[in-house]
Amino acid sequence: MTQGALTGLRLIEMGQLIAGPFCGQLMGDHGAEVIKIEPPKVGDAMRSWGQGIPLWFSVVGRNKKSITLNLREKEGQAIVKQLVEKSDFLLENFRAGTMEKWGLDYETLSAINKGLIMIRVSGYGQTGPYSHRAGYGGIGEAMGGMRYIMGEPDRPPSRAGLSIGDSLAATYACLGGLMALEHRHKTGEGQVVDSAIYEAVLANMESTIAEYTVAGHIRERTGSILPKIAPSNVYPTSDGSILIGGNQDSVWKRMAAMMGRPELGEDPRYATHVARGENQTELDELIMEWTKGIKSQELLDMCEEHGVPAGNVYRAPEMLEDPHFKAREALVEMDHPQHEHFVMQNVAPKLSKTPGHIDSVGPDLGAHNEAVYGELLGMDSAKMNDLRERGII
């Protein structure tokens, strides 16, 4: 693996889909050795997921080693304990109680390795009356409050088009794991990181709870705008549309000048943040009447010249052609054993000294059995063949 900020650390990844594995991806991007445990023969369900062609695992499984292991068998559980002895993190996103059922609870594992950091991702967390419920990302988005405010006001709640709840929980899990690592640097002791999907979503809900407890206000669905934040919307052009954010007082004054109507910057209806919020609809209508006669690129150039934040609403084709994406290497083309021109998003965030790197796409199922079981755990070929024949690996 390329040197990264987490080089020298080893993470054992258990579980499937997104909520756990995206945490493993983030750590692997920055140099951690990620050993992913998958069920023999079938592997992670993500191997068959994707729109059209199942390519998702090639992204979420990048920079990882894949081994097969039957966790439901005592021998499989014993092998996990051997791996824990040689690792820094254990990551899992099974339903709460599953690891305890397998005898792989933190008390047992920390007795083997007191510095172990156990990262646990689940729908509802490891405690509380809902902890044993099955929980997918979409449910966490709903209970965490995000789904209610997503979409158009005249329709039922929508979704983001991505598994945002899972990814948020995984990101907080990664953050928690690194916080626990800093604690271990000071004390030598590991701990449990408990990342619940609904709480990860809830953490991003801004002031919505306080707005209700203090003022009795419940945010509603508002489509392409944020209430009282204006102007900030998708505006039509003569050949499409662009998103413009001119909602700060000083930016709005520059935008008014750009429109050839500098007096609007001082107009009491629009001069302040509060006033623009109160007159949001009429202000958007005024701007749309102006933008609809201008070509998108011309409008973007005007916004850049006047220091007004603006941008196109991109899809993959536009990202691939954008010079800024290219200059910052935001996308990277990887060698793939089955597909030509395999491009994925690059490592984020960028670190100046240890920037992280993608060394490989998601591996074939069990591709690293020999390396992990043979080299790391010291099993001979006869032992591995016996375990393979009995369906343990």
Catalytic residue among 29, 44, 88, 166: 166
Q: Which two tokens stand for residue 152?
A: 């158009």
Q: Which two tokens stand for residue 105?
A: 């609870």
Q: Which two tokens stand for residue 330?
A: 């935001």
Query: Is residue 213 helix, strand or coil?
Result: helix
The contacts of residue 340 (CB under 8 Å, 6+ apart) are none
C-beta separation of 37 from 69 below 8 A? yes
Measured distance CA(378)–CA(49) in Å, rounded: 34
Measured distance CA(107)–CA(110) in Å, rounded: 5
Measured distance CA(251)–CA(380) in Å, rounded: 68
Q: Which two tokens stand for residue 189?
A: 């002791």
The contacts of residue 380 (CB under 8 Å, 6+ apart) are 374
CA distances from 132 to 101, 126, 140, 144, 176 (A): 12, 8, 14, 17, 22
Query: Is residue 17 helix, strand or coil?
Result: coil
Is 166 among the catalytic positions?
yes
* Residue 293 CB burial class (10 angstroms; 0-12, 13-18, ≥19): exposed
Query: Is residue 246 helix, strand or coil?
Result: coil
Q: For 44, left (φ over 0), alpha (ψ -120 to 50), or beta?
A: beta
C-beta separation of 237 from 243 below 8 A? no
What one-character DSSP code corresponds to residue 376? I
Phi, psi of 8 (to 5 degrees): 100, -10
* Active site (catalytic) residues: 166
